[in-house]
Each structure stands twice: as C-alpha cells, then as structure tokens.
Amino acid sequence: MQPSILERSQHPISRRDIDPNVLRVLYRLIAADYAGYLVGGGVRDLMMGRRPKDFDLATSAHPQQVRDLFRNSRLIGRRFRLVHVFFGQQNIEVATFRRRAEDVAEGGDPMIRHDNTFGTPEEDAFRRDFTINALFYDPRSFEVIDYVGGVPDLHARLIRTVGDPEVRMREDPVRMIRAVRFATKLDFEIEPATRAAIVRHSGDLAKASVPRLVEEIFRTLSFKGAERALFLMEELGVLE
C-alpha cells in the first residue's frame, strides 16, 4: 500500500532534536547504500514535541552487515539479531526490517509465532504494536512516513493496535499492559475496539512471559501518573 507522507513543512521534527550519534549511525548506513530510518517511540515523541528518552533505528542492512560497518558495535539476541552501536556509555539499537509471522491455522495458538523473517519497511510497520509507534522518519528526505494511520491517531490522542486488536492482543498479551502504559504516559484514550479486545482477552495474560510481564508492569507503574494506570488496569480487568 502507499503510505501517507508528511513533507518537512508538515511536521515538527528537526534534526537538531535528534541525538548526533543517532544521526551518525543513520548517515553511515545510508552512505553504504542501505535504507535507514528513525522509528518507533522516538518519532512519536518528536511529533508530539517531547524529548525522546532513546532512539531506535531500523534498516535494510542485515545484522552482520551493520556489525561490519561499525567497529564500535556488537550483535545481541538469539531469535532475532540486533546490533548495539556504542558511543562511550551510550548504545544505539539498530534492527533490520522484519515482517510479521504468517497467520496461524484456525484453532491454533496465536502466541506460538515466529517473526524473525526479514522484511520491507511496510512489513515492519505492520508488525509493530500500536499505530502511534509505527511511524518512520527518513533523514534523507526529512519526511515522516505513515503506513498505518499513526499520524491521525496522534492528533486524536488514541491508542489503537496496528491491525485486528483481537489478534494482536492474543498473539502478545503483554500488549495490554503496554496499551495502558502509553495511554497514561501520554494522556491518550484507548480506542473502543482495542479496549474491548483487552477486556475480552485479559485472561491471556496468565500465558505471558513472566519476566516480560513484570518488566512492563514496573515500567507502567514507575512514572508520574501511575495511579491512573493502576485504576485503568483494574477497570480493564487485567489485574486479575
């Protein structure tokens, strides 16, 4: 599908607001003829005029190709390799575009999935959890690229899954806690279909990875406004 493109004059992101080391990594990838984008929460926060806590990068280069470009880097991960590029105490995470797993057969467990197949920027956008976290910033053209309707949801202050919320919550129940975290952190609302899916499938949290669940709960309850998050989790039934 054709993405929605925001030209430089249509968005507030400036390179002055992006960490210089992040730009160094992006421009080296681009100079080596790979695609390189700023992605995820960093783009979301810059679009909202917020200072990102960190920046994530996505590229067409495969992990070993990224590793070969940066001597100050190392490969991490087992199932899906990522590259951390180090600048002193700072590390910048670089991931290769990847796509979602194939749909499971009817009656199969949607949590048993494999999403470690390399993909295109479009496929990578549709793999992400919420529309506001699936925006790409292109440092060559200074454009914001939106495949999934994230920009309208930013303006409407809505948390919405990329794709069918019933499927997305069942394949990774920890997303329910993430939805609460983003809603309370950003003072957004969870859109009705996403909200209904959380209520309907909250019991699936019992199947989630305990370390991931604990980490996400701590992240949700460790910032200003955590009391609202707690009440929202109770309201949605996820605390059970």
> Which one of the listed residues 56, 124, 172, 204 is annotated catalytic?
56
- Residue 134 contacts residue 41 (beta carbons within 8 Å): no
- Asked whether the CA dihedral 33, 45, 98, 1 is positive or negative, the reply is negative
The answer to whether residue 68 is catalytic is no
Q: Which of 17, 33, 45, 54 is catalytic?
A: 54
- Cβ contact 48:85 at 8 Å: no
Q: Are 170 and 201 in contact (CB under 8 A)?
A: yes
Count the Cβ atoms, other than its own, within 10 Å of residue 227: 10
Angle between helices 226-236 and 210-220 (to 10 degrees): 130
Which entry of 129, 146, 153, 204 is annotated as an active-site residue? 129
Determine contact, residues 175/169, Cβ cutoff 8 Å: yes
Q: Where are the beta strands (DSSP E) in the chain?
A: 4-6, 36-39, 56-59, 73-76, 82-87, 90-96, 98-99, 117-118, 135-138, 143-146, 158-159, 189-190
Identify whether 54 is a catalytic site residue: yes
Compute the residue count for the chain: 240
Q: For this structure, is 204 an active site residue?
A: no
E-assigned strands of 48-146? 56-59, 73-76, 82-87, 90-96, 98-99, 117-118, 135-138, 143-146
Active site residues: 54, 56, 129
